Amino acid sequence: MNGKKLLPLAAALLLLAVAAAPGASSQEKLRDIQRRIDEVQAKLAASKGEKSSLLNDIYALELQAETAVIELNKANLLMADAQEQVQRKRREETALRARIRSSQDKVRRILRVLYKMGDLGYVKLFLNINSVDQLFRNYRLIVSLMDDKVVEIREIRQGIIKLQRVQAELQAELARLTGLKTEKAAKLSRLNRLKQDKLDMIARINRQRDLSSRLLDELKTESENLTRVLDQKSVAPAADAVDLGPLRGKLAWPLRGSVISSFGKKKSARFDTYTMNNGIEIKPERSDEIRAVGGGEVIFCDYFKGYGNLVIVQHAGNFHTLYGHCDAFLKRPGERVGTGEVIAMAGNSGSLYGKALYFEIRQGLKPLDPLLWLAKR
């Protein structure tokens, strides 16, 4: 299989990057997260059925890390919802306490009035009248005082029942929040373990000649596969595509950073072996934004063994530029991009160097030294 589809790590981080459309409900976001988890798990299951290789092992670790990142985002979303519920329950609890206090104060005032009237207070109110109108006024006062007392006592009783329910719900949400924090810590620990497993594997490859030789053979095979994919994916250039030919030595850099691996045939001092680099590796400084060096059309945006998450842009003049080891894809196949437009974020997918951008320029499928095409710095 030439390329493996892998949702880039930041696609989950953009969940929340990630992740779902703005304004989507929590339930919609959770469904989207679960769909992503199912997709990655299906790819992981498929990878286990393939022929064992170092690149497949790295790919499997990255799939597991992808799952861990998505699950971490899920825990974050659930925690945010639990925290919102806790705040809402606390506001509801405060409002109920205030309402109960208000009803209690009102009952106290009513009782004080009735107490001052004494046992014969009601009789006095009816005897000391000078007119029928006063009789009805006194009667309405007594009825009002008695009714208010009953209503307010009922309000207090109902308020206390509601308060007890809200307090129980608040405790349940606090317990859920505590559980989610524990779950998040476990997922974060698993993610860190997977990252360390990948680093350990790379360290073993760098220490052992036989593993290093196997990896070089696999990378060579994948480089040939990539050339075939490029040939198959190429389409008629868009009308607004930029011909890179006249821009040799003038192209803006796709990423600000230092070159940590150069183009061409390289000798390993450790193992006395040779590798052929078709591109360069750039370690980001300041920003992880990857920008298209020229206008064109995205013809590939997927995981590719040995290159990680890879974006390929086709330009005019039979030129292609390739951007590997991405974390987040910001463009999709078929989309047009302009010169300098951000198309992805740098990451470490498929990388043996940590976070970096793998960058290639090809004309007629032939790799060119990017340093001869990029502007001098």
| CATH code at position 289 | 2.70.70.10
Q: What is the mean pLDDT of residues 228-246?
A: 87
Does residue 212 fall inside a structural domain? no
Q: What is the mean pLDDT of residues 59-85?
A: 87
Does residue 232 fall inside a structural domain? no
Q: What is the mean pLDDT of residues 162-181?
A: 88
* Tally of CB atoms within 10 A around 116: 8
State what percent of residues in the chain have pLDDT above 70. 80
258 and 110 fall within a common domain: no
Containing domain of residue 128, as a range? 3-206
Cα–Cα distance between 178 and 162 in angstroms, integer?
Answer: 24
Run of H or E residues at 59: helix 54-117
pLDDT score at 313: 95
Handedness of CA 300, 304, 309, 312 (dihedral sign): negative
- Across 35-39, 169-173, 225-229, 318-322, least confident range: 35-39
Cα–Cα distance between 161 and 155 in angstroms, integer?
Answer: 10
The answer to whether residue 14 scores a pLDDT higher than 50 is no
Render pLDDT for 286-310 as a digit per residue (tens, 0 to 9).
889 999 999 999 999 999 988 999 9
Cα–Cα distance between 329 and 312 in angstroms, integer?
Answer: 11
Q: What is the mean pLDDT of residues 31-52?
A: 79
pLDDT score at 272: 62
The Cα angle at residue 367 between residues 361 and 368, in degrees rounded to 5? 65
136 and 252 fall within a common domain: no
174 and 46 fall within a common domain: yes
As for how many domains the chain has, the answer is: 2
Q: What is the mean pLDDT of residues 323-339?
A: 93
pLDDT score at 113: 66
Burial of 354 (0-12, 13-18, 19+ CB in 10 A): middle
Cα–Cα distance between 256 and 279 in angstroms, integer?
Answer: 16
Render pLDDT for 188-228 as a digit per residue (tens, 0 to 9).
888 888 888 888 888 888 788 888 888 888 888 888 889 88
Task: Indicate the pTM of the whole model.
Answer: 0.69
The answer to whether residue 229 scores a pLDDT higher than 50 is yes
Length of the chain equals 377
11 and 136 fall within a common domain: yes
The structure tokens 């892998």 sit at 6
pLDDT score at 130: 53
Q: Mean pLDDT across the chain, nearest whole number?
A: 81
- Which of 183, 206, 229 is the last residue before a domain boundary? 206
72-111 exposure pattern, b = at least 16 Cβ within 10 A, e = fewer: bbbbbbbbebbeebbeebeebbeebeebbeebeebbeebe
pLDDT score at 18: 39
The structure tokens 């250039």 sit at 237
Does residue 287 fall inside a structural domain? yes
Q: Which residue has the higher pLDDT, 264 or 137?
A: 264
CB within 8 Å of 90: residues ≥ 6 apart:
170
- The domain that holds 33 is classified in CATH as 1.10.287
- Across 133-147, 300-314, 324-338, least confident range: 133-147
pLDDT score at 4: 42
